[in-house]
């Protein structure tokens, strides 16, 4: 990396650390990121060579570096929303909003990309193309990335490739992880309503117990992956919630189940959805009840483009050293709406290490004690700056 670029990153780093702390202390849920978007928009609006566009979804911020220039365009994305989790950390910038916190690192994602915009705006005239900065709402809930794509965020100017990073607590600080192909799974929301016949708990023979039926459905669903999915493929069927009844001595007339289905292959997803429906309905029927199944596909699977992942690996090796670039990280069964961008343009997401040295473990994503590490900010900024410069210079040849 040129010394001038490193110096620029070091120069803005204190402001970026302060911004992350501010964002961490003031989390906002999906599609409610009004203050977060305002802060980002205010900073970007003061930078040279950057045009901030009108919002597409109220709480998004999209800006273009070198808006009047021809040539290739690279997209860099950060997500801004927080989670409905009560923070357990005792830190000066702890969440000031009861029941909300940045437990997935989006405060760090946003601050990192603001820093990248600040640095690249200083060297804009040396870049043979454009950079589109996409600060999106509602990654955690609502598919903000997909809605931005539908509204044309990848057009005018057309984005040629897209990159993002994600905080990753299982990899060490100062490292990145990247892979080609599958990265995050497709998700499906699952709801099952089991109906029976209510009655007194002392006389179960006069009732049709929907809780008993639900228990057998849960057991039956465990065979769906174990006996229908190849050991060489990945899939998950989980029931995470069962609700029913109001008293210990009363058999209710119905109970509700909620869960998730996750997979990579569309064909496998269709088999799992049909299998859940079949097992639930037929099991309920066998016990004299009924089951109503609702399955709604949500985020698609995220696949990293081969060439874009190779560019991330190359940049990581040059900047961080070969030993700090992990290419053996397994695909995650978690979801990520960056997949919507990757469906339209060549794209890659890389994981940014959060695990501090000399510690036995680090809290996982969505944990009430997780925090994006300040030490990772310059690593993420260096990676995204260099990715933008190399992609544009090579595509412009």
pLDDT score recorded for residue 2? 59
pLDDT score recorded for residue 394? 95
In the chain, what is the straight-line distance between the N-terminal and C-terminal CA atoms, in Å?
A: 20
Domain 186-297 = CATH 1.10.10.10: no
- Report the run of H or E that residue 168 belongs to, with start and end: strand 161-172
CA dihedral 212, 214, 215, 216 (to 10 degrees): 90
Q: What single DSSP character describes residue 204?
A: G
- Residue 49 and residue 113: Cα distance in Å, rounded? 16
- Residue 60 and residue 37: Cα distance in Å, rounded? 6
How distant is the alpha carbon of residue 300 from its chain centre? 12
| Per-residue CA distances from 93 to 145, 171, 223 (Å) | 28, 24, 46
User: Tens digit of pLDDT for each residue in 293-313?
Assistant: 999 999 999 999 999 999 999
- Residue 352 and residue 31: Cα distance in Å, rounded? 25
List phi, psi (to 5°) of 17: -60, -45
pLDDT score recorded for residue 5? 83
| Per-residue CA distances from 120 to 111, 198, 389 (Å) | 14, 66, 9
Tell me the CATH number of domain 3-185+301-395, given options 3.40.190.10, 3.50.50.60, 3.40.225.10, 3.40.630.10. 3.40.630.10
- Residue 61 and residue 44: Cα distance in Å, rounded? 9
List phi, psi (to 5°) of 262: -135, 145
DSSP states along 359-388: -S--PPTT-TT----GGGHHHHHHHHHHHH
- Residue 153 and residue 135: Cα distance in Å, rounded? 11
**Which regions in the chain score pLDDT beneath 70?**
1-2
Which residue, among 296, 313, 374, 362, has the nearest Cα to 13 in the 3D structure?
374
List phi, psi (to 5°) of 351: -95, 135
Angle between helices 210-228 and 266-286 (to 10 degrees): 150
Which residue, among 31, 19, 14, 43, has the nearest Cα to 133 in the 3D structure?
43
Indicate if 186-297 has the same CATH topology as 3-185+301-395.
no
Q: Hey, how many other C-beta atoms are within 10 angstroms of the C-beta on 98?
A: 8
- Residue 282 and residue 61: Cα distance in Å, rounded? 48
Quickly tell me which residue has 């990280």 as its tokens: 329
**Furthest-apart CA atoms within the chain: distance in Å:** 81
Residue 58 zone, left/alpha/beta (φ > 0; ψ -120 to 50; rest)? left
Any idea what the Cα angle at residue 122 is, between residues 116 and 123, rounded to 5°?
95
- Report the run of H or E that residue 34 belongs to, with start and end: helix 34-45
Please, where are the H alpha helices in the chain? Answer: 3-25, 34-45, 106-122, 144-150, 210-228, 266-286, 306-320, 339-342, 377-395
Which residues on neighbouring strands pair with residue 382, listed in sequence order?
A: none
User: Tens digit of pLDDT for each residue in 233-288?
Assistant: 999 999 999 999 999 999 999 999 999 999 999 999 999 999 999 999 999 999 99
DSSP states along 106-145: HHHHHHHHHHHHHHHHHTGGG-SSEEEEEEES-SSSS-HH
Domain parsing of the chain, residue ranges: 3-185+301-395, 186-297
């Amino acid at each position: 990396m040129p010394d001038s670029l490193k110096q620029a990153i070091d120069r803005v780093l204190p402001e970026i650390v302060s911004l992350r702390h501010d964002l961490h202390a003031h989390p906002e849920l999906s599609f409610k990121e009004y203050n977060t978007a305002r802060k980002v928009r205010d900073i970007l609006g003061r930078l040279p060579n950057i045009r901030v566009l009108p919002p597409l979804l109220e709480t998004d911020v999209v800006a273009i570096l070198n808006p009047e220039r021809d040539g290739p365009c690279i997209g860099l994305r950060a997500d801004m929303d927080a989670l409905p989790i009560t923070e357990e950390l005792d830190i000066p910038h702890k969440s000031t909003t009861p029941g909300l916190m940045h437990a997935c690192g989006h405060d760090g994602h946003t601050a990192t990309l603001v820093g990248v915009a600040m640095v690249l705006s200083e060297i804009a005239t040396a870049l043979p193309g454009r950079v589109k900065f996409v600060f999106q709402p509602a990654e955690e809930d609502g598919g903000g990335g997909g809605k931005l794509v539908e509204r044309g965020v990848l057009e005018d100017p057309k984005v040629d490739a897209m990159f993002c990073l994600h905080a990753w607590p299982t990899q060490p600080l100062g490292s990145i992880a990247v892979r080609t192909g599958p990265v995050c799974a497709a998700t499906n929301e699952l709801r099952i309503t089991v109906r029976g016949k209510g009655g007194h708990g002392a006389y179960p023979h006069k009732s049709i117990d929907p809780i008993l039926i639900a228990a057998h459905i849960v057991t039956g669903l465990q065979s769906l992956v174990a006996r229908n999915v190849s050991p060489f493929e990945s899939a998950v069927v989980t029931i995470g919630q069962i609700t029913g009844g109001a008293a210990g001595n009363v058999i209710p007339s119905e109970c509700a189940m909620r869960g998730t289905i996750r997979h990579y292959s569309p064909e496998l997803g269709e088999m799992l959805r049909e299998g859940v429906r079949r097992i639930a309905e037929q099991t309920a029927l066998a016990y004299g009840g009924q089951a109503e199944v609702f399955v709604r596909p949500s985020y698609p699977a995220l696949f990293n483009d081969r060439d874009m992942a190779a560019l991330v690996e190359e940049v990581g090796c040059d900047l961080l050293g070969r030993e700090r670039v992990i290419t053996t990280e397994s695909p995650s069964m978690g979801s990520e709406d960056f997949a919507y961008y990757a469906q339209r343009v060549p794209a890659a997401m890389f994981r940014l290490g959060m695990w501090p040295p000399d510690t036995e473990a680090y809290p996982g994503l969505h944990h009430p004690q997780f925090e994006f590490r300040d030490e990772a900010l310059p690593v993420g900024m260096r990676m995204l700056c260099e990715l933008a410069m190399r992609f544009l210079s090579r595509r412009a040849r």
